[in-house]
Structure 1
C-alpha cells in the first residue's frame, strides 16, 4: 500500500459537541496561548513541530492497535474486568492524538509525515489460538511498548516547567499509567496456565518489541554542558518544548527495560532472551 500523508480533522457539528463532552474541551482546557514559538530558535521550533507531529502519529498508531487489542481479548474471552480496562484505551489514545497534534499546531503547524495505514496492526501467525494472540498482543503492546512509553513521558514531564507542556504531558502520563500495567495484570491471570513453550515464545515477542526501540536509543547522542546542548540550544528551551536531555532518554529507556519489563516478565516465568 502506498504511503499516505498523516492528517487528522474534526467535524464542525453535533459529533464535535459530543466528542468535547466526552473528553473535555481541549481547546479551552489547556493554556495554549502560553506557548510563544518566537521565544525559541527557529530550528528548534521546527524540530519540535516534527517531534509533536510524530508523537501524534505514534498515538494514532496506538489507538489503532488498542482497538485490535480489544477485539482480540474479546475473541479470547478473557475475564470481563480485564477486557473492560482495555476497552478504555482506544478513546484515551485518540485523545492523545488530538493533544499532540494541537501542540504541533501551537508551534506553527504539523510537519509533513507519510505513513502506511496498514503498518500499525499486529500480524499474527495463523496457527495461534485466540488466547495466544491475546497473550502476544498484551506482552508486545502493553508490557513492553506502553511501559516504555509511560516511563519516557514521565521523564519529559519531570524535565519541563512550561505550563502548557506540563499540562499536556500530565494528561498523557495520567491516562497512559494503566496501559502498561494491564499487561502484567493479564499475566497474573494467565501465567499459571502457560506452558514452557508458550512462555519461551512470549519471551521472544518481548525481545522483538524491545529491539524495535533500539534505533531510538542509538540515535540519541546529544550531550549538554552548562545548560547548553551540543547543538547550541539552551536546555531550558529543549525541556520547554517537551523533551528530556538526550542522555536521560537512554538512561530511562535502559533502566525501564531491565526493571519494569524484563524483571516483571521473568517473575511470571517469561525470560526475555
Structure 2
C-alpha cells in the first residue's frame, strides 16, 4: 500500500494566474489577518489545525470523487444538463481545499495526514454497467455525502462567530447546496428505470456510505456551563474557530439523516 503525505502546492506559472482569475482573489476576499492564533489555548489551537487540515483533505478526496462521478455520467449518457451541472463541482471543491488549507496555515500550519491515493475514490464492482456505476456514485456522493454535509456545514456557519471562519463556511455552504440537490435531480431522471434489484443495491450502498459518517451522531455527551465546554474550552473560542457545540452538532446530524438523506431516498424508492 503506497502511503503519501497530504500536501498542496501551486505551479506558480500561467496556470496559477488562470486559477486565480477563476476563483477570485482569495488573499484579498477573506479577512485572514483578523484571526489572531495567540488568542486561543494551545490545545484548542492544535485541534483546530487538525480539524481544518482534515477539512481540506476531505474536500481533496471529494474533488477526486466528483471527477469519478463526472466520468461515469458521461459514460452512462446522462442528460447533458446534468453532466454540465456536475462538471462544475470539482472546481468548487478545489476552492474549498484552498480555503480550508489556508485556514489551517493561519492557525499555525497544517497537521500531518498520510493516505493511500487509491482510497480517495470509490471502489466499484467492475461488473457494473456504466449506468449502474453512475447510479451508485451519485447516490453515495451526492444523495448521502453532500446531502448530509450541507445542513451540517450550514449549522457550523450559523455558529461561527469570527469573520474569517464564517466567510469561509459561507462560501462552502453556498456551493454545497447545489451538490446535494444534484443527487435528487438525477434520481428524478432515472427513477422510472430503476428496477427493484437496482433500488435494493443502491439502498445498501447508501447505508454503507452513511455508516462511514456514524461518528457524527454517536459523539459522547457534552455540556456547556457558564460558557465553558465540558473539555474546559470557552464556547466563544470554539465558535470563533468554526465549530458548533458538540452535542448540538450530533443532534443536527441525527435530524439531517432522517430529513435530508433517508426521507428523500425513500421518496425515490431507495430504502436504507
TM-score with structure 1 length normalisation?
A: 0.97
List per-residue Cα deviations over 1:196-221 (Å, max 9, x = no partner). Answer: 11111111111111111013433454
SS in structure 1 opposite 2:126? coil
Who is 1:96 aligned against?
96
**Given the superposition, is the C-alpha separation of residues 244 and 181 from structure 1 closer, same or farther in structure 2, using an over 3 Å criterion?**
same
Return 5+ residue gaps in structure 2 as ranges: none
**1: distance between equivalents of 2:253 and 2:150?**
10
**Given the superposition, is the C-alpha separation of residues 221 and 115 from structure 1 closer, same or farther in structure 2, using an over 3 Å criterion?**
farther
Aligned-residue offset at 1:240: 0.4
The residue correspondences of 1:132-147 to structure 2 (distance < 5 A) are 132-147=132-147
**2: distance between equivalents of 1:154 and 1:244?**
10
Q: Judge conservation of contact 2:159–2:243 (CA < 8 Å) in 1.
A: yes
Return 5+ residue gaps in structure 1 as ranges: none
**2: distance between equivalents of 1:224 and 1:120?**
36
TM-score with structure 2 length normalisation?
A: 0.98
Who is 1:252 aligned against?
252
**1: distance between equivalents of 2:78 and 2:193?**
13
The residue correspondences of 1:256-271 to structure 2 (distance < 5 A) are 256-271=256-271
**Residue 205, structure 1, aligned to residue 205, structure 2:** yes
Greater shift, 56-65 or 208-217, is seen at: 208-217
List per-residue Cα deviations over 1:170-220 (Å, max 9, x = no partner). Answer: 000001111011000000010111111111111111111111101343345
Who is 1:218 aligned against?
218
SS in structure 1 opposite 2:172? helix
Once superposed, what is the RMSD of the aligned Cα atoms? Answer: 1.0
Q: Judge conservation of contact 2:151–2:256 (CA < 8 Å) in 1.
A: yes
**2: distance between equivalents of 1:210 and 1:29?**
35
**1: distance between equivalents of 2:205 and 2:61?**
19
**2: distance between equivalents of 1:207 and 1:149?**
16
Who is 1:165 aligned against?
165
**1: distance between equivalents of 2:51 and 2:221?**
17
The runs of at least 4 consecutive aligned structure 1 residues that moved more than 2 Å come to: 215-223
